[in-house]
């Protein structure tokens, strides 16, 4: 059965960095959109990034622009999310997902999702 698994979460102090990975088994990201989302305690799901693995086009949520980078270095079926200058408000459960196109990624709908990895940033 195809699935996604995230890893790389953990606890860091504000200003620190983490790199999350998302590995697909049973399928690959080429030809699809790799999305990263997060859910902070008591808040709605938030889109972090959408990356076209086909042409490298990427989009980011306003709260992470300039600090987070979605990476595909050709090591399909794994993609990464490099997170720098982390802030306490970045704390949450981070999910990766695969989508057919950018509009669905932006809306976080009709995708295949991993179980998530926890990121905790302390002040």
Q: How confident is the model at residue 121 (pLDDT cuts 50, 70, 90)?
A: very high
Strands 3-7 and 18-25: antiparallel
Render pLDDT for 30-78 as a digit per residue (tens, 0 to 9). 999 999 999 998 999 999 999 999 999 999 999 999 999 999 977 779 9
Render pLDDT for 8-37 as a digit per residue (tens, 0 to 9). 999 999 999 999 999 999 888 999 999 999
Is residue 96 within 8 A of residue 33, CB to CB? The reply is no
Triad 71, 38, 45: Cα angle to 5°:
135
Render pLDDT for 72-108 as a digit per residue (tens, 0 to 9). 977 779 999 999 999 999 999 999 999 999 999 999 9
């Amino acid at each position: 059965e195809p699935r996604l698994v995230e890893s790389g979460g953990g606890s860091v102090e504000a200003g620190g960095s983490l790199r999350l990975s998302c590995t697909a088994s049973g399928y690959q990201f080429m030809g699809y959109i790799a999305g990263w989302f997060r859910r902070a305690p008591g808040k709605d799901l938030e889109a972090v990034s959408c990356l076209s693995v086909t042409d490298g086009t990427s989009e980011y949520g306003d709260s992470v622009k300039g600090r987070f980078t979605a990476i595909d270095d050709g090591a399909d079926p794994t993609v990464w999310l490099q997170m720098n200058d982390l802030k306490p408000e970045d704390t949450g459960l981070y999910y990766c997902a695969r989508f057919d196109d950018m509009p669905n990624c932006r809306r976080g709908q009709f995708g295949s999702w991993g179980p998530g990895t926890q990121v905790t940033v302390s002040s």
